[in-house]
A and B are shown apart, each in its own frame.
Chain A
C-alpha cells in the first residue's frame, strides 16, 4: 500500500466523521506539493553547494569556505540574496510569458517529483506509469525554457531556447529508448515495483547485471540524460562563452533561481531514474539486511478489526530509511558524476550534438532494445523448457 493512500486512509479513519473526503484529499495533496517543493529546494541548495565544492576541489581550490563549516550555509546566503535582488523585466519583453516561464519550469519539475519514491513505503503518488510520468513532466520544462527565450526578446536567449528545443527533441528518443531496456526486464514503469524487482541476490540483483545489453543501454542513458538536463558537455542552451547565459540571460533574482532549481532537480530526477532502473534503486546488501532484521512493511493493513490499519511496524521504519537513503546516495552519485564531467570536459558544438543524438545514440539504443528483447525471450524460453 502506498504512502499517500495509507496516509489518506489513516486520516479518514481519524477525521472522517468531521471532514468531508474531498477536503482530506485536497489537504493531503497540498501537503504533498509543499513537501515536494521543499525537497526540491533542499536538493537544489545542497547540489549547488556540492557543485561548488566539487568544482573547487577539481580546480585546486576549496570553493566556499566562509559561510558556515566549509561553506555549507552558502546556498542559504545566496538564496536570501536572490530573494532580495531586483526583479528586472526588460521593457520589450513579453511580460506575461516572461513571468510565466520560470513558474512553468518549476511547476513541471515539482510535478515530476510526485513520482519519486522517497522510500518503498513512503511515496507522494504510486504511479503505475511513474517513469513515463517523470520523463513527460521533465520534458515540459523545455516548453518553459523556449518560452523564456522567446519572451525575453533578445537574440541570445532565442539562440539558447532554439538550441534547447533541438537538443531535447534529439535526445528524448535515445533517452526513452535506452530506458526501455530495463523496463522490458522489469515489466513495469512503476519506480517502486522496478526497484523491488531487483531485490534478489541479497539486494544485488540490479538490472545492470541481468542482461548483457544493459551496460551499453546505461551508458547511452547517461549521455542522453546529460543532454536532457543541459549539463556539460551538452550545456549549449546556456553556453556562457557563446550565448552569454543562453535562455536565462535576461532573468535575475528569484526568477532566475527557479531555472537554477529546475536544473538541479532535473539532474536529481534523472540520476534517480538511472539509479532505479539500472542500479538497483532501493536495493543494496544493506537494504536487504535491514529488511531481514526489521521487516519491510511499514503499515500492516487489516491487522486489526477496528481501523483500516491498526499495526504500524515501527521497526520497518529503519528499513524504509535505509532504502530511501540508498536511493538518495545513488542519486547523488549520479549528480556527482555529472559535476565531475562538467568540470573536466569542454563543450561540444551544436552540430556535433545533433550528429551524436541522431546518428549514433538513437540507432545504438534501438539495437540495445532489440538485443535485450531477444536475450530476454531466449532466457525465458530456456527457463520454461
Chain B
C-alpha cells in the first residue's frame, strides 16, 4: 500500500513536470501598435493555438528605436528576450554584436531552405557568405502614389507616363501652372531620395558595397547622380512644386486629405491611404532619371527583421525555429502581405496571393513586388549595412532640410552630410573592433 502511494506520488510529480515542460515560453519583443499590433497578436495567437509545445509571449516595447534600446538594456542585464524586432537601419549594430545574437540560419538548423526567401528582401539581412542572420518580418519599398483626381482637375491626363523624373518634372510644371498648392510631397526623404535612389540607379551609397564588405566603409552619396537629383528637388522646393512636410511620414496626412497630387512613400502606406483617401488614387513605380540610368535597377527595403538573442535554452531555440517556420509559411505570409501592404518574404507567398486574385482585385499592390524583384540585386542595390545609421539619417535629414530651405546648394549639403556621417562611421568601426 505504502509502495503504491509513492509510485502514484512519483507519477504525479513526473506528470506535473511534464506539463510544465510541455509549454516552453518564447519571448518576442516588437514595435507595433494599432492595426499592425493587432495583426501581430493575431499571428501569435494562431501559432500558439496551432501546437501545444511552445507559447509565444509577444510584448510591445515602444517604437523601433525604443525596442532596440530595450533589447540592448535587457541583454546587458542578462534578461534578453528570445526574439527582438530590429529596424533595418539597426542591422549593422546587431551584426556587430557577435556574442549577443544567434544567427537565424543556425537556429533553424540543417533543414533550413534559404532559397525560398526573396533575394532582394533577405539580401539586406544576410552575411557575406549568403547566410540569413535575421528573419525579415515587415519589409516595404518606396513607390509613387498618384492622386488621379488632382491630375484631372489640373487638366492632365491621369494615365500620363510618370516612370521617369523628367516626365514627373513636366507634370509638376503643369500642376503648378494650374494652381495646385501641393504638386508633390514625400515621406522618409533619406530612405527614398538617397538610399533607394542610389540602389535604383545602381550607384553606390557607400563604399565597400554599401558597407556589406566591411566596417571601413565611407559614404559616397555626394557623387554627381545623387547631387543632380537633390539639386532638382531643391529647385522644385524653391518653386513650390515640392512641398516638404517633415522627416517621417508627415506628408501622408496631406496626400490622404487630397491636397497633394504626387507622393513618394512606402508601399506599406497602402492600408492608410486606402482607408482614408476620398479620391481616385493609384500606385506607380518609383520614377528614375533617364539621364543617369537607361533602365532602373531594383529598389531596396525598409522595415524590420527578427533577431534571435544569444543565451537561451535549446528548447526555447526550438520554439523560435518553429515560430519562424510558421511565419515563413505561404498562407501566413500571403495574409500578412495582403493585410498590411508589406512585401511577402517568400516567392511562394507572392504566388499564392496572385492565385487568390488579390492583385487583380487591388490593382497596383504588386508594383512594389515587381519593382523589388525584376532584377537581380547588384552590390549597390542589395541594401545598406552602416553603423550608427539611425543618426546618420538624422544628419542627412538636416542637410536635406538645408537644401529645401535654400540655405545650401545640393553639392555643399551632400558633402557636409558625407563628412559628418563618416565621422560616425569611424566611431562605429572603432567600437566594433
* Same assembly: no
CB within 8 Å of A: which residues of B?
none
Q: Identify the A interface with B (CB < 8 A).
A: none
